[in-house]
Amino acid sequence: MTGTDTDVGKTWVGTNIIRELVALGNHVVPKKPIESGWPQSSNDYPQTDAYRLADAANKIDDLDAVCPNRFTAALSPVRAARMENCKLSLELIKEQCISGLHANDFLYVEGAGGFYSPLVEDGLNADLASSLNLPVVLVANNKLGCMSQILLCCEAIEKRQLTLAAIVLNQVDEIGGDTAMNNEEDLKDYLSYPIFSLKHQQTMLPPQLVNLLY
């Protein structure tokens, strides 16, 4: 699970995908290998992305395995880790993602920030995606100007020979008044990937999205 940027709704989309997969009888193993801005009080854990993913998969007791690298500063993962005298490698977080997996487990991995955002000392989110070679779901904030970000991310994913399973246009903010914007329709002039548009504060995912991953 990756995005064009931070705060585009990756975790909201991810938690709903996980719940649907669990309801279908899958054993989902969620991984948010790094999260910065981690609260010091356990009472605030439910506000974190990792907690939401673990909760969706019924794995709150495995929160340390879901997110093994947690840093206090609400900064990029690399900088937040350095502030705590920690330097993470791509090989380490890859091993943390796949450790203990069984043949029928459904591995869900969520990055931090956008596809080309730095994640560890020697790699980007894109490098983790390449090393795991998992299908990619790309989430974007459905707003004016998002098409350039989406097309650039798609090109980057294609260059790495990764499978782009779907693009999710998530309308993070409410759009006031009438608008003729239709990014889904316009993107179809350039892309052949499945594209799903979510309305502001939509509560359910299109079932076709989950079916692509199941």
pLDDT per residue as tens digits for the range 55-71: 999 999 999 999 999 99
| Encoded tokens for 47 | 């506000």
DSSP letter for 51, please. H
pLDDT at position 177 is: 57
Q: Residue 15's domain spans which residues? A: 2-213
> Catalytic amino acids?
32
| pTM assigned to the model | 0.95
Contacts of 128 by beta carbon, 8 Å cutoff, 6+ apart: 33, 90, 93, 94, 97, 109, 111, 119, 120
Report the percent of the chain where pLDDT is more than 90.
Answer: 89
Q: Above 90 in pLDDT, residue 127?
A: yes
Average pLDDT estimate for 128-142: 97
pLDDT at position 182 is: 94
| Domain tally, the chain | 1
Contacts of 53 by beta carbon, 8 Å cutoff, 6+ apart: 11, 14, 15, 18, 30, 32, 66, 108, 110
Q: Above 80 in pLDDT, residue 214?
A: no
Average pLDDT estimate for 199-208: 85
Q: Above 90 in pLDDT, residue 202?
A: no
CATH code (residue 19):
3.40.50.300
Based on its alpha-carbon atoms, the radius of gyration of the chain, rounded to whole angstroms, reads 17
Per-residue confidence at 137, pLDDT binned at 50, 70, 90? Answer: very high
> Which among 157, 50, 32, 13 has a CA at the least distance from the CA of 97?
32
Q: What is the 3-state secondary structure (H, E, C) of 155-178?
A: HHHHHCCCCEEEEEEECCCCCCCC
Average pLDDT estimate for 101-107: 95
Contacts of 2 by beta carbon, 8 Å cutoff, 6+ apart: 10, 110, 111, 114, 115, 125, 126, 129, 136, 137, 138, 139, 153
* Cα–Cα separations (whole angstroms), residue 114 to 3, 108, 148, 153: 5, 17, 14, 9
Per-residue confidence at 48, pLDDT binned at 50, 70, 90? Answer: very high
pLDDT at position 176 is: 64
* Average pLDDT in the chain: 95
Model confidence over 144-192: pLDDT tens digits? 999 999 999 999 999 999 999 999 999 998 876 557 889 999 999 999 9
Q: Which helix (H) or strand (E) holds 13?
A: helix 10-23
Report the percent of the chain where pLDDT is more than 70.
Answer: 99
Strand partners, 166: 137
Contact 33, 70 (CB under 8 A): no
Average pLDDT estimate for 103-127: 97
